Amino acid sequence: MRAGAAGRRTGRRARSCERMHKGWADPLCTPTLLSLYPGPRYLRAVATFRLQGSRVLAVTMTGDAVKAKNGSMVAYDGQMAFKKMSGGGEGLRGMVTRRLTGEQMEVMEVRGQGTCWFADRASEINLVHLHGEKLWVEASNLLCTDAGLRTGTTFTGLRGGASGNGLFTTTVEGTGQAAIMSDGPATVLRVTPQYPLSVDPGAYVAHQGNLQQHLQSGVTFRTLLGEGGGEAFQIRFEGDGLVYVQPSERNTVGGDV
C-alpha cells in the first residue's frame, strides 16, 4: 500500500516535472539526478528498528508504516492501526502469483505513532540493512520490513523442494531495514568467488547479494540402500554475497535419506 502511494507520488512529481520542462530545464528532473535528489525520500519519516534482547523487535514509528507477519505484535504504546495485507507482490499479478505459488505471506500493515514490539514463537531475530540490493528469504522467516521495501515471489527450483519450503521464495528489495527470524541465533557466512559455500537446505534462512545457487546431491549407491549419512542434498552458493544459516534444521527430504 505504502509502496503504491510512493509510486503515485513520484508519478505526480514526474508529471509536474514535465510541466516545468516546458518553461526551463530543471536539473533535478533528469532521471539520474532524480534518484540522487535527497528530497522527500529522506524527509519521509522512517521507522527505526531496534532489538530488545535477541527475541523482541522494537519499532518506533512517527506516522509511517511497517509490514509485519500477521499476529506478531506483542505490545505497543501510542496509537497503532493494524490492517491485513497480502504478501507476494502488489496488484493483480501479485495475487495470481500468490495463489499459484502458495508462498502466501500473511502480512499486516502497522501504521501509527509510538513504539510497537514484535516477536514470534521466541525465534531469534536478525536485522538486515538493505541499500538497494535484494534479499531472498523464506516467507516463514520474515518478521517485519520497512514499508518502503518491495516484496515479491520468485521461483527457486529444486532447492525449494529440498529445503522443505516449497518451490518458491520471497524477495525483499529496496532501501530500508528488514527483520528475519531464525531458530537459534543465525550465522552470517560470506561467499566470495574464491570461496563457494554449501549449505544444508534445512538450515538455510536467507541470502543476499549476487549469488548463483544450485542444488548438489550426494546421493550414492549407499543412500539408495538406506545407508545414507543424512546429508543427501546441499545448496551450493557461488558468487559474491552473504548467506544466513540457523543452528537448527527443518524437516527436509534430504535429511531423511
The binding site for another protein (CB under 8 A) comprises: 52-56, 70-78, 80-84, 106, 108-109, 117, 119-122
**Which residue number, 22 or 84, has a Cβ lying nearer to another protein?**
84
Q: To the nearest whole angstrom, how small is the minimum distance from the Cβ of residue 70 to another protein? A: 4
119 versus 130: smaller Cβ distance to another protein: 119
> E strands along 101-253, which residues?
106-118, 124-137, 142-146, 150-155, 168-182, 187-191, 197-199, 204-217, 233-245
CB-wise, 37 or 82, nearer to another protein? 82
In the bound state with another protein, the residue whose beta carbon lies nearer, of 76 and 204, is 76
In the complex, the smallest distance separating the C-beta of residue 109 from another protein, rounded to whole angstroms, is: 8
Among residues 71 and 196, whose Cβ is nearest to another protein? Answer: 71
Residue 219 beta carbon to another protein: minimum distance, rounded to whole angstroms: 36
CB atoms closer than 10 angstroms to residue 37? 15
Q: Could you tell me which of 228, 113, 110 has the C-alpha nearest to residue 179? A: 110
- Shortest distance, CB of residue 47 to another protein, whole angstroms? 17
Contact 250, 163 (CB under 8 A): yes
Residue 2 or residue 159: which is nearer to another protein going by CB?
A: 2
Residues 62, 105: contact at Cβ < 8 Å? no
Residues 6+ apart with CB under 8 A from 53: none
Query: What Cα–Cα distance (Å) separates residue 163 from each residue in 66, 67, 202, 211?
Result: 28, 25, 5, 17
Q: What single DSSP character describes residue 134?
A: E
Could you tell me the smallest distance in angstroms from the CB atom of residue 213 to another protein?
A: 31
CA atoms within 13 A on the CB side of 90: 13
Minimum CB distance to another protein, residue 127 (Å) = 15
